[in-house]
Amino acid sequence: VVIIDIFRASTAICAALHNGVEKIIPVTTIEEALAFKGKGFILASERQGMVIDGFDMGNSPQAFLNPDLIGKTIVFTTTNGTDAISAAREAKKIWIGSFINLSAIAEALIELNEETILLCAGWNNKFNLEDTVFAGALVSRVSSYLDCKSCDAAMTAEILYHSAEKDLLGFLYQSCHYNRLKHLHLEEDMEFSTHIDLAKVIPVFENGIIRAYQNS
Amino acid sequence: VVIIDIFRASTAICAALHNGVEKIIPVTTIEEALAFKGKGFILASERQGMVIDGFDMGNSPQAFLNPDLIGKTIVFTTTNGTDAISAAREAKKIWIGSFINLSAIAEALIELNEETILLCAGWNNKFNLEDTVFAGALVSRVSSYLDCKSCDAAMTAEILYHSAEKDLLGFLYQSCHYNRLKHLHLEEDMEFSTHIDLAKVIPVFENGIIRAYQNS
């Protein structure tokens, strides 16, 4: 399963591990996260697009590039992203995908050559544009190598991506979540989230922890 | 709620009422349908694309244009379509949409001017291409009059429709369900199902029965 929450959890996780964060502990509730407070962890959270009181940071992806975070462990809870990870917990492998590690994920999927679900986190259990456009980008990178034709959702996501690719950020201006975050003045986060291939890292979730995947 | 099951239940229902069928009783299971046998009803069914033994007809939309059916009552069970009707049963109004009554539905929605869900039946609880393309066609007809911008799914369906509209049938050749039905030699059904505006009727589901909607 590839977990996709472009604005902004999956982009933030990729940025963090790219920066050299040692590991990320995703938790579902704010209470679970706060239980880690004062024990040497960095606490990151987001609810309805905003940072929660008592946390060290929100989920602006650029903030995870801070050199102070190198080697640290981050406890992370977001509205949709950590729920998606939780939903996928029975999967054999759980990776985190974003535009910033698009090629790395695509190449690893081709090499792995196994049945894969692209799990779009969406927003409050609804379909959203940006996660599906990313899923389409991933399909477009792997469809010459893997069978994507037996799934209408994958084909449709790819068609959507081809409508978007010439001006990805401009295309995503239409998205409801873009507009929701724009009202919170988070345009920079969204611009960052549409940069392709800034990172080579693949975050993998295993035994409750997200780390950089060690490709054998 | 507009119920959408393009290949083929919603197209068949529109064709039937357009032809002059008096009413349609949708039922979920084959057993429920067979309980009506020998009581003056026409029994229509489909499972995995095929007619069931003991039924009078399947769900090829063209078959519902047979003049022998005028004034009759049809008991109808299909794989996905009747399940969708059942899922929507709490809605204030339940209409059935297809390409063959696209403009009629669009105009009625604009006149009604209420919050509407376009319920794509899909296939075995999965997303499918043809139902979403139709939803997009409907959005494209109503989006100048009704707010569709606050829903990424509606916007995405419209974008998809604009990719498809120049050659609707050709576009749908990609769809998994098209290929499934093609193996059953049902290409004519699918061609029929993509003809726009053959009918002006709006099927409405009320008190367990589908009839032509009487627009006041």
pLDDT tens profile B113-138 = 999 999 999 988 899 999 999 999 99
B52 or B143, greater pLDDT: B143
ipTM value of the model? 0.90
| B20-47 pLDDT per residue, tens | 999 999 998 899 999 999 999 999 998 8
B153 vs A: CB within 8 A: yes
With an 8 Å Cβ cutoff, is A152 touching chain B?
Answer: yes
Cα–Cα distances in angstroms (integers) from residue A191 to residues A121, A168, A172, A175, B129, in the given order:
19, 9, 10, 13, 30
Q: How many residues does chain B have?
A: 216
B156 and A160 in contact by Cβ < 8 A?
A: yes
Q: List the single residue in A123, A152, A175 with the smallest CB-CB distance to B129.
A: A152
Rounded mean pLDDT, A57-83: 91
> Is the model more confident about B51 or about A116?
A116
> Mean pLDDT, to the nearest integer, of B48-68?
91
Structure-token pair, residue A26: 């995703």
For residue A78, is pLDDT > 90? Answer: no
Q: Å from A131 to nearest chain B CA?
A: 11
pLDDT at B216 over 60: no
Q: What's residue B51's pLDDT?
A: 83
Say what the pLDDT of residue B85 is.
Answer: 85
Q: Supply the pLDDT for residue A194.
A: 97
B126, B152, B159: residue with CB nearest A176: B152
Mean pLDDT of the A84-101 span:
93
Does the pLDDT at position A216 exceed 70?
A: no
**What was the pLDDT predicted at B5?**
94
Look at residues B5, B3, B1, B8 and name the one whose alpha carbon lies nearest to residue B187: B8
Per-residue model confidence as pLDDT tens digits over B140-160: 999 999 999 889 999 999 999
How far, in Å, are B81, B99, B153, B177, B203 from residue B88 at the CA level? 11, 20, 18, 23, 14
Taking contacts as CB-CB distances below 8 angstroms, the residues of chain A near B160 are 156, 159-160
pLDDT of res. B84 = 87
CA-based nearest residue in chain B for residue A160:
B160
- Chain B neighbors of A174, CB-CB under 8 A: 149, 155
Residues of B in contact with A177 (CB under 8 A): 152
**Per-window interface: B 156-185 vs A, CB < 8 A:** 156, 159-160, 163, 174-177
Is the pLDDT at A49 greater than 80? The verdict is no
Whether the CB-CB separation of A117 and A81 falls below 8 Å is answered with: no
In a mutational test of the A interface, the residue from B7, B127, B134, B156 whose CB has the highest number of chain A CBs within 10 Å is B156
Give the pLDDT confidence score for residue A215 in this predicted structure. Answer: 59
Which amino acid is present at B177?
Answer: H
pLDDT at position A102: 98
pLDDT above 90 (res A81) = no
Residue among B149, B156, B175 whose CB faces A152 most closely: B175
pLDDT tens-digit map of A148-204: 988 999 999 999 999 999 999 999 999 998 988 899 889 999 999 999 999 999 999
Give chain B positions within 8 Å (CB) of A132.
156
Q: Is B127 on the interface with A (CB under 8 A)?
A: yes
Chain A contact present for B80, CB below 8 A: no
Q: Which residue has the higher pLDDT, A22 or A215?
A: A22
A194: which DSSP letter? T
Q: Is B117 on the interface with A (CB under 8 A)?
A: no
Report pLDDT digits (tens) over A116-139.
999 999 988 899 999 999 999 999
How large a percentage of chain B has pLDDT more than 90? 81
